[in-house]
Amino acid sequence: MHATPALATPSNATAVAPFQRRDDLGIEQLREHVVVARRRVAAGQFVHRVGQPFHSLFLVGFGCLKTCELADDGREQVTGFHMRGDLLGVESIGLPHYACDVIALEDSEVWELPYPPMLTACLRVPALQERLTAALAAQIRRDRQWMLTLGTLGAESRVAAFLLDLAERHAQIGLDPHRFVLRMCRVDMANYLAIKHETVSRVLSHLAATGLVDVRRRDVTILDPVALRRVASSESSVH
């Protein structure tokens, strides 16, 4: 259900993370073969936009970003939020141009992985190749899991599932899974959840009223993970 795969964990974080994500690549190994440039991205700035020439994948160093899918007629859909260790740009592999927007929600850092060099590195290091392919497959599974959530659950369950997903990902990068800050505004969250932002507000208020969480604007504390998990998997109106 995660929005993006962790291709690798930035080296300064390996000691902190309680466990590595399965689709971890190993950034140290990668750096032996590819020149990795760090790039700062201010809040609101694009890492890449749809239509720009595809040249690199990006690994999130720190911060938080969102991926945005666009339609010709102006509709847009947030398809993922990304944090440290997540790999960006994989969906554009094989295309001349990036297929979506990636925008920083706060000041962030991404590590630029030039793609042609990565390809040649993959030729020399089969393990690298396998891990990149595995990372792509893992991304498909996450998207599918999210489709399952959106397709089968109602508004309240979606919000609960979202909070639990954030909690899990925070745990994976060594942060407190039960107390964190939402880096995205309600509108982005609502778009991702395919509901309206007013509904998100109401659901959060309700979850707080029933004692499952504490919410003060963007500060979230999960008080009853078990009950929250129950909410996140109970079928909704859309039976």
Which residues are near DNA by CB under 7 A?
A: 154-156, 182, 185-187, 194-202, 204-205, 215-218, 236-239
Nearer to a second copy, 12 or 77 (CB): 77
213 phi and psi angles, rounded to 5 deg: -140, 165
Bridging pattern class, strands 76-82 and 213-216: unpaired
Closest Cα partner for 2 from 47, 71, 70, 60? 60
Cβ atoms of residues 163 and 156 within 8 Å: no
Among 150, 208, 223, 227, binds a second copy (CB under 8 A): 150
Among 143, 201, 202, 206, binds a second copy (CB under 8 A): 143
Nearer to DNA, 138 or 231 (CB): 231
b vs e for 178-211, b when ≥16 Cβ sit within 10 Å of the residue's Cβ?
A: bebebbbebebbbbbbebeeebbeebbeebbeee
Among 28, 32, 51, 76, binds a second copy (CB under 8 A): 76
Among 36, 152, 177, 227, binds a second copy (CB under 8 A): 152
Q: What's the CA gap between 127 and 38, in Å, rounded?
A: 24
Task: Point out which residues bind a second copy (CB under 8 A).
Answer: 22-23, 69, 71-73, 75-77, 79, 90-95, 99-100, 119, 122-123, 126, 129-130, 132-134, 136-141, 143-148, 150-153, 191, 194-196, 233-235, 238
